[in-house]
Amino acid sequence: NAGVTQTPKFRILKIGQSMTLQCTQDMNHNYMYWYRQDPGMGLKLIYYSVGAGITDKGEVPNGYNVSRSTTEDFPLRLELAAPSQTSVYFCASSYETLYEQYFGPGTRLTVT
């Protein structure tokens, strides 16, 4: 039981490049989330999903896209990377909104 896994762990992008952050969970959770965490700031919700085929915007969705074709996978796409997207990205999943969220180890992204 691996829980929530994320790849890559680290990445450096040049301005204008694109990439996909991968997230997979093996707990059969319906709910999945993408957060970014900047130094000294709280976690900010980018996108979330309540089940396969259903996604919705969070607090800071601009510059990102997601898809949820299966229960297990919830990739986050960055198009035209900008320095403002330098952050640590966490994927999380939960059984339901009132239950605890389980987090992946994070992806540390630098855009230069």
Partner 1 sequence: GQNIDQPTEMTATEGAIVQINCTYQTSGFNGLFWYQQHAGEAPTFLSYNVLDGLEEKGRFSSFLSRSKGYSYLLLKELQMKDSASYLCAVLDSNYQLIWGAGTKLIIKP
Least distance (Å) between residue 2 CB and partner 1: 13
Here the tokens at position 90 are: 């966490």
Contact residue for partner 1 among 44, 60, 63, 65 (CB under 8 A):
44
Contact residue for partner 1 among 25, 64, 104, 109 (CB under 8 A):
104
Query: Other C-beta atoms within 10 Å of 35: how many?
Result: 23
For 42-103, the DSSP string reads --EEEEEEEETTEEEE-S--TTEEE--SSSSB--EEE-S--GGG-EEEEEEEESSTTSPPEE
Least distance (Å) between residue 45 CB and partner 1: 6
Residues 59-88 contacting partner 1, CB under 8 A: 59
Contact between 95 and partner 1 (CB under 8 A)? no
Contact residue for partner 1 among 90, 93, 109, 111 (CB under 8 A):
90
